[in-house]
Structure formats: C-alpha cells, structure tokens
C-alpha cells in the first residue's frame, strides 16, 4: 500500500488563514514557523524603514516587508518570504495581489537565536540559487551584518561600520543604528 502526499500550491498557500503562524512553501511542502519576537521585529523596522524611504526617493525599485512571499518555482511550487526584499526598478511591472513571481535582487534575513548555522547556510544558498544578487544576514546576538554576494564574496560588518552594498546604489546606514 502506498501513501500519497498532497503537494500544496502557491494559490493554496495564499489562501491559508492568517494567525499565529507564518508559512513558506518548498517544492510543494508547507513549512510552518512561529511569529518573530520583539527584537527581531524592531531590527527589521530599523533597517527596512530607511531602506524603503531611500529606495522610493531615488526611484530604485520596491522594498517588500516581512511576510511577503516570492514564488520562485512552479510545479511543485516554492514560495519563500524574506524579512526584507528589494526588487530593482524595471524588473517588476506591477505589484501583484498574489506572490511576485520573481526573485528579489536583495534579501535581508534577521537571524533568530533559535536558527542553527546549517539552517541559515541552507536558506542563503537557496536564495542565491534562485538569482538573488545579495543576501544580508543580520545577527542581533552579536550585532553584525554579513553580506553574501551571488559571486560567493562575503564580508562581515560590525557596529562601527557603515552598511553599503552596490545592489542598492548609494544606500548607506551605520550598522549600530540597525540594533538601536
């Protein structure tokens, strides 16, 4: 006797009731995650607000907030949701009501204490494999930001550094202000 597993689609995912969990979809398999804690949410806002303001003022593209899913594969579907996503101007004609079917140019992931190094590495590699140009790993525990580029280059910034990445031309933010 064989058992069949139902693979979920992006359409089914977007229709799930919102509530106490966040979801992602990897090759049709539903992943359930707990909501983020207070520090996590504050760090996201400390970075996303100035980034979004800058991107909009400079007409560089669009910044997407936490919980925005991006459909990266179809049949079976993969929908991942970064803490912050940036898509360059000209790559997305309009913002769909459903998941954008495009990989962001930049993904920001705020790393929780519960996330293991292997999980973070796997998710970073996933993002890069889908065409993301740069991943920023923001670590509140040691107040650093690691920038990993599609070319494999990696650099770690500390509180006294200024965060700059060519993926968002001209954007600069002191790392210490992300953790205030």
User: Cβ(154)–Cβ(148) under 8 Å?
Assistant: yes
Q: How many domains does the chain have?
A: 1
User: 142 lies in a domain?
Assistant: yes
User: 43 lies in a domain?
Assistant: yes
Q: pLDDT tens digit string along 144-173?
A: 999 999 988 999 999 999 999 999 999 999
Name residue, tokens 């520090």.
39
Q: pLDDT tens digit string along 27-65?
A: 999 888 888 889 999 999 999 999 999 999 999 999 999
Q: Which domain range does residue 167 map to?
A: 37-67+78-178
Please report the pLDDT score of residue 176 as a whole number: 98
Task: Please give the angle made by the CA atoms of 88, 90 and 92, to the nearest 5 degrees.
Answer: 80
Query: How many residues are given for the chain?
Result: 180
User: 53 lies in a domain?
Assistant: yes
CATH of the domain at 144: 3.90.1570.10
Please report the pLDDT score of residue 33 as a whole number: 83
């Amino acid at each position: 006797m064989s058992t069949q597993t139902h693979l979920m689609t992006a359409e089914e995912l977007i229709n799930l009731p919102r509530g106490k969990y966040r979801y992602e979809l990897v090759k049709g398999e539903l992943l359930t995650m707990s909501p983020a804690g207070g520090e996590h949410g504050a760090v996201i806002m400390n970075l996303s607000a100035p980034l979004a303001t800058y991107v909009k003022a400079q007409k560089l593209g669009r910044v997407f907030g936490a919980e925005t899913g991006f459909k990266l594969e179809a049949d079976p579907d993969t929908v991942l949701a970064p803490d912050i996503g940036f898509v360059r101007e000209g790559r997305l004609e309009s913002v769909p009501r459903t998941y954008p079917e495009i990989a962001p140019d930049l993904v920001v992931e705020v790393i929780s204490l519960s996330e293991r190094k292997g999980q973070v590495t796997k998710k970073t590699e996933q993002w890069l494999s889908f065409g993301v140009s740069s991943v920023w790993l923001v670590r509140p525990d040691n107040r650093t930001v690691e920038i990993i580029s599609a070319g494999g280059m990696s650099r770690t910034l500390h509180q006294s550094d200024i965060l700059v990445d060519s993926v968002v031309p001209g954007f600069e933010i002191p790392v210490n202000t992300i953790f205030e």
